Amino acid sequence: MQNQKLGILALGANATNFYLKKLAKDLSFELLKTNFEQINNLLPKPSKQLENIMKNYIEQLLSLEVNKILIPNITLHETIDNIKIDKNTNIIHPIALSIKAIKANNFKQVVLLGSLYTMHSNYIKDIFGANNIKLLLPKARDMQLIDTIRKQVYENKASIIELNNFNNLVEEYAKNNAVIIACTELSIALNYHNKNVFDMALLQIQNI
């Protein structure tokens, strides 16, 4: 970790704190505050307005002479992919890391657990497909449950029962498939772990 300086965007409080708690204690980093309410009001769909906002924040981080950039919001990477930035900018990308991990474990298909937008969007599906990984979706009723849990975690309102229901669901899908967790709020809720479960947030942290 020597000679490495990480730049982190401070976004949603719960998500940002989740990442910070997982980071190595001796890691040098710069934390840049953002107007997350402004960002969140423009999510989840990419837009030129959101691109301009994110580009400005990335440029601010780069001015702090960071070596890597960590963005603690999975959905935002769809927008960031559309931004023209220096090709040498090292953004720790959860999608690329997920593909690498899934291929390393010889999985050909994976069940995606994320927000309703993410699960219905073609963003991750198309990238995975281009890498010969088939993306599977949960049952419709399970997708609704997953998105409800996501919202409850974001609002600090998730009950023990709801969290248990989510983890039981992950365990159920992981019995016969690889599972990818594609939402930081779901990463916060997750306490079931095995070799079939790939958590995008943790993959980012492990690759700093």
In the chain, the percentage of residues whose pLDDT exceeds 90 is 91
pLDDT computed for residue 25 by the predictor: 84
Mean pLDDT of the chain: 95
Tokens of 187: 């990463």
Domain parsing of the chain, residue ranges: 6-80, 94-206
- Residue 163 vs residue 4, higher pLDDT: 163
- How confident is residue 3, by pLDDT bands cut at 50, 70 and 90? low
Q: Does the pLDDT value for residue 44 go beyond 50?
A: yes
pLDDT tens by residue, 132-155: 999 999 999 999 999 999 999 999
pLDDT computed for residue 4 by the predictor: 74
| H runs (alpha helix) in the chain | 13-22, 36-42, 48-62, 76-80, 94-104, 116-120, 123-130, 140-154, 160-174, 184-189, 200-206
Classified as helix, coil or strand, 2 is coil
What would be the CATH architecture of the domain defined by 94-206? 3-Layer(aba) Sandwich (3.40)
pLDDT tens by residue, 163-185: 999 999 999 999 999 999 999 99
Mean pLDDT of 24-51: 95
pLDDT computed for residue 1 by the predictor: 40
pTM of the complete model: 0.94
pLDDT tens by residue, 55-113: 999 999 999 999 999 999 999 999 999 998 887 889 999 999 999 999 999 999 999 99
Residue 33: other Cβ atoms inside 10 A = 11
Q: Does the pLDDT value for residue 161 go beyond 50?
A: yes
Q: How far apart are alpha carbons 29 and 51 in whole angstroms?
A: 24
Q: Does the pLDDT value for residue 16 go beyond 80?
A: yes
Q: How far apart are alpha carbons 163 and 189 in whole angstroms?
A: 6
Tokens of 48: 């030129």
Which residues are CB-neighbours of 108 under 8 A, at least 6 positions away? 132, 133, 134
CA 92 distance to own-chain centroid: 10
